[in-house]
Amino acid sequence: MPDVSDMNLLRDYQRQGSEEAFAELVRRHVNLVYSAALRHAGIAAHAEEITQAVFVILARKAAGLRPDTILDAWLYETTRWTALSFLRGERRRQWREQEAYMQSTFRESTGDPVWHQLSPLLDEAMARLGKKEREAVVLRFFKEKSLREVAAVMQVTEAAAQSRVHRALEKLHRYFARRGVSSTTAIIAGAISANSVQAAPVALAKAVSAVAAAKGAAASGSTLTLIKGALKIMAWTKAKTAIVSGVVVLLAAGTTTVTVKEIQAHHTYPWQIPNADFATLYKMPPDVKILPTKFATNGVASSNGGRGAMGAWSDGGRGAMGIAQPLQIIIQMAYRSDELHTFYAVDLPTNRFDFFAKLVGPQETNKPMPVNTNWTIALQKEIQKKFGIAGHLEMRQADALVLSPAASGIMGFTNSHKMPKGIAFETGAGKLAFHEQPVGILVMSLQQKFQMPVINQTDIKGAYDFSLNWDEPDRTHPNPDGLKQALHDQLGLDLISTNIPMKMLVVENVK
C-alpha cells in the first residue's frame, strides 16, 4: 500500500474495518509518535504506552477527521496532548523520579551537541508555531520530505511551502536563542532532521496495530485512563479556540470601552477567602487569575492544604490556587519546578498575590473531579502577560549532591517494613521512613533536608519500604553528617558533593 494516501487508508479502516490499512498507518507513523512521546516522557516504557494511546485515539476519531487533515501533524499534536495527560495522578510520582534520572544521564550521552540543547525545548517551541507552520516543519524535517512533497501535501505552491518552512525556522531560532541556544536556522534544521525521529522498538508497531485497530478494546486500564484524559484535553483545546474566536468577534464589534484589567482591579472573586483549601479549588468554575492579594497576612506555602492556613495548593492534574503568595511560588507551580532547580535572571516584585488556575468545571457531589493538566500552560501565559517574564529549561552549572551506591552495596530496601495503614511516609527530626515508595521520594526528601539538588544515580527501580534513623536532637539542630552516615550504613548509599551541569528552570524577561 505504499502509494495509497494516509487519508485513504484511514477511510478504508473507518468504512470497511480494514486492519491491514490501519497497520500500514501505524507502520508509517509509529517512529514519529514514539520519538515525540519519548522526548516528553523520558522513559521508553512510558513512551510506548503513550504511542499506543495515540493510535487508539486515531482509530476512535477516524470518522471525524477532515479529508484535508495532514495526518503527520495531527499525530504529532495528539502525541503532545496525550503526553500531557500522562503527567497526572500516580504518574506524577514516576515523573519526579524520572526527572532526577534524566538529569544524571543527560551529561553522559554522546552525539550531536546542538541536538542535546534543542531536544528539551523542541516540542514546547513547536507548540508556539502556527498550525500551518507546524505542519510544514513536521513534514519537512520530522518526516524528511522534499519541498515539492511538502507543497503537494499542503496543497500550496512550492514557493509558499518554502516560505512557511523559512518562517517557522526563524521563529524556532528566536525561541531557542532566547533560551541560550546559539545556532543558525540551517544548523537547527539539520539537527531536527537528523535526530527528531528515531526507530521505535521492533515489536511496538505490531502491538499498537492490534490494540488500536480494535479502538482500544484490549487496552490496559491505565492506557484507557490515559486515552480518556487526552481526549478531554483535546476537547477543551477545541472549545477554547471557539471561545477565543467568539471573543474576537465581540471585541471587533466595539461594544465596550472598559478594559478587562479595569474590571478585575476592583473585583473580588469567590475563591479569595482566608480559609481557602482544596475544597475551594474543586467547587469553583474554571478560571485563571493572578491578583494583588486582598489580605494583609503573609501566606505560607503548604503542601497539605490545611484548612485555615493561608497558603498555596496544587492538585497537579486539576489545578492550583494560593492566597497571599510571593510570585516565586506561583512560578514554581506553573512550571512544576522547585526553588532548588530555579534560577531567576530577573528581579521579582516583593508584594504578594492571590492566584487561581483551573480549566475544568466544579466537582459534582460524589463524583471525581475531571482532569486537565493544561492549567500549568495557562498559568504560565498569565504570568507572562502580567509580569513580562517567562521560564525555560536549560543546562546550567550548579552545586549538587549525587546519590549513588556505596562500595558495600545497596541494602535496607524491603517489603516488610510495618507502618500504620494508609501512611506513605513519616519524617521528623532524625527520621525518614517510607512505605511502598520509589527512590525518587527519598531524593525529594534529601533535597529538602540539604536544600540542594540531589541527582539520583542509584538505578533502583520500583517501590519499596525503607527507613533511616540518625542522631538529630530537633529540627533546629540539623545533623547533615549524621544523615549522610545513616544513608551509608543503613541503605548502602553515598551522598557526594559535586558541581555539574543540570537542567534548571531559568526565569527571565520576555524580549
Same domain (yes/no): 283, 204 = no
Same domain (yes/no): 179, 321 = no
- Tell me, what's the pLDDT at 425? 57
Q: Which of 480, 461, 482 is nearest to 470 (CA)?
A: 482
- Tell me, what's the pLDDT at 208? 82
- Tell me, what's the pLDDT at 257? 35
pLDDT band at 293 (very low <50, low <70, confident <90, very high): confident
Same domain (yes/no): 431, 484 = yes
pLDDT band at 91 (very low <50, low <70, confident <90, very high): very low
Residue 367, in any domain of the structure: yes
C-alpha cell of residue 205: 508497531
231-235: Cβ within 8 A, 24+ apart: 231/57, 231/60, 232/85, 232/370, 232/371, 232/372, 233/81, 233/84, 233/85, 233/372, 233/373, 233/374, 234/57, 234/78, 234/81
Residue 425, in any domain of the structure: yes
- Tell me, what's the pLDDT at 385? 92
Of residues 340 and 421, the one with the higher pLDDT is 340
Same domain (yes/no): 334, 414 = no
Of residues 505 and 244, the one with the higher pLDDT is 505
Please write the tens of the pLDDT for every residue from 262-292: 334 445 788 888 777 777 888 888 999 999 9
Contact 132, 163 (CB under 8 A): no
Mean per-residue pLDDT for 58-71?
88
Same domain (yes/no): 351, 459 = no
- Helices and strands, counts by H and E, the chain: 18, 11
C-alpha cell of residue 451: 536544600
Mean per-residue pLDDT for 65-89?
84
How many domains, the chain? Answer: 3
Mean per-residue pLDDT for 162-173?
92
Same domain (yes/no): 43, 178 = yes
Burial class for 218, CB neighbours closer than 10 Å (0-12, 13-18, 19+): exposed
**Across 37-51, 92-106, 180-194, least confident range:** 92-106
Please write the tens of the pLDDT for every residue from 313-371: 777 677 889 888 899 999 999 998 877 788 888 888 888 899 999 988 887 555 666 67
Tell me which of 387, 416, 436 is where a domain ends: 387
C-alpha cell of residue 241: 479556540
Please write the tens of the pLDDT for every residue from 253-263: 443 333 344 33
Residue 114, in any domain of the structure: yes
Strand partners, 414: 465
pLDDT band at 152 (very low <50, low <70, confident <90, very high): very high
Contact 282, 297 (CB under 8 A): no
Contact 494, 487 (CB under 8 A): yes
Residue 94, in any domain of the structure: yes
Mean per-residue pLDDT for 401-411?
88
Residue 101, in any domain of the structure: yes
- Tell me, what's the pLDDT at 239? 52
Q: Say what percent of the chain tops pLDDT 70.
A: 77
Same domain (yes/no): 383, 417 = no
Strands 389-405 and 425-428, sheet pairing: unpaired
Same domain (yes/no): 154, 203 = yes
Residue 307 has pLDDT above 70, yes or no: no
- Tell me, what's the pLDDT at 165? 93
Same domain (yes/no): 406, 367 = no
C-alpha cell of residue 128: 508556539
| Alpha helices (H) along 219-321 | 221-252, 260-265, 278-283
For residues 68 and 5, what is the distance between their CA atoms, to the nearest angstrom? 11
**Residue 29 structural domain:** 6-240
Sequence-separated (6 or more) residues with CB below 8 Å from residue 262: none
Q: Return phi, psi of residue 493, to 5°.
A: -125, 140
- Tell me, what's the pLDDT at 466? 81
Average pLDDT over the chain reads 78
Residue 133, in any domain of the structure: yes
Sequence-separated (6 or more) residues with CB below 8 Å from residue 49: 86, 222, 223, 226
Same domain (yes/no): 161, 288 = no
Count CB atoms within 10 A of the CB of residue 68: 9
Residue 247, in any domain of the structure: no
Q: Could you give the 3-state DSSP secondary structure of residue 381?
A: helix
Q: Which of 414, 410, 438 is nearest to 424 (CA)?
A: 438
Q: Could you give the 3-state DSSP secondary structure of residue 437?
A: strand
Tell me which of 344, 369, 387 is where a domain ends: 387
For residues 310 and 127, what is the distance between their CA atoms, to the nearest angstrom? 35
Residue 7 has pLDDT above 50, yes or no: yes
Residue 115 has pLDDT above 50, yes or no: yes
Residue 478, in any domain of the structure: yes
Same domain (yes/no): 351, 410 = no
Of residues 388 and 111, the one with the higher pLDDT is 388
**Across 201-205, 223-227, 385-389, least confident range:** 223-227
Tell me which of 362, 387, 412 is where a domain ends: 387
Of residues 389 and 224, the one with the higher pLDDT is 389
414 secondary structure, DSSP code: B
Same domain (yes/no): 331, 410 = no
Q: Which of 218, 228, 212, 225 is nearest to 91 (CA)?
A: 225
Model confidence, pTM: 0.48
Q: Return phi, psi of residue 291, to 5°.
A: -130, 150
For residues 475 and 81, what is the distance between their CA atoms, to the nearest angstrom? 43
Give the type of residue at 24. Answer: E
- Tell me, what's the pLDDT at 2? 63
Q: Which of 307, 336, 337, 335 is nearest to 323 (CA)?
A: 307
- Tell me, what's the pLDDT at 366? 54
